[in-house]
Amino acid sequence: MKDPSILCSILIFTLCGNAIALIGQTEDEVSALLGKPIDPGKPDGDGVTTNMYKNPGGEYLALVQFARGHSIAESYARVDSHTLSEKELSAFLQGNRGGKEWKKDPHKLAWERSDHRARAWCETLSGRPTLLIQLK
């Protein structure tokens, strides 16, 4: 059987949609869900601020970028650097569907939201398999 803590985390994320930061939320809304950033950023030359959070259960790292006060991109990775399971990917995508459906690319781990306003894909960043979600 899979690690029970992973399954519990997925269940919590799935049942409590507010455990996942959502694209378009304000920095205050994200902090209310995930707590204070563990690594708060400063605005870059384009005014984009990137904050790192650890979910309340401590299993995931979330990197959230804000522009004009709202989240424009997010990434999720496991603290233990293991690959995100299909269930974990599904929970994060469902949390960011915005009432739309995600359409999977049949050739790679990538998705586009049915309204064509967001895309998601997997890649390894800093040695961690990561799900990235971005507004277009």
Asked whether residue 102 is assigned to any structural domain, the reply reads: no
pTM, to two decimals: 0.82
What is the rounded distance in angstroms from the CA atom of residue 101 to the CA atom of residue 50? Answer: 27
Strand segments, DSSP code E, in 9-127 are 49-54, 60-67, 70-78, 102-104, 110-113, 118-125
Looking at residues 62-80, what average pLDDT do you find? 96
What local confidence, expressed as pLDDT, does residue 19 receive?
Answer: 54
pLDDT digits (tens, 9 = 90+) for 21-53: 789 999 999 999 899 999 999 999 999 999 999
What is the rounded distance in angstroms from the CA atom of residue 125 to the CA atom of residue 3? Answer: 24
Between 69 and 9, the higher pLDDT residue: 69
What is the rounded distance in angstroms from the CA atom of residue 42 to the CA atom of residue 50? Answer: 7
Asked whether residue 103 is assigned to any structural domain, the reply reads: no
What local confidence, expressed as pLDDT, does residue 56 receive?
Answer: 87
**Total number of domains in the chain:** 1
| Structural domain that includes position 61 | 4-97+109-135
Nearest C-alpha neighbor of 52 from the set 91, 44, 66, 26:
66
Is 89 a residue whose pLDDT tops 60? yes
DSSP state of 84: P
Asked whether residue 113 is assigned to any structural domain, the reply reads: yes
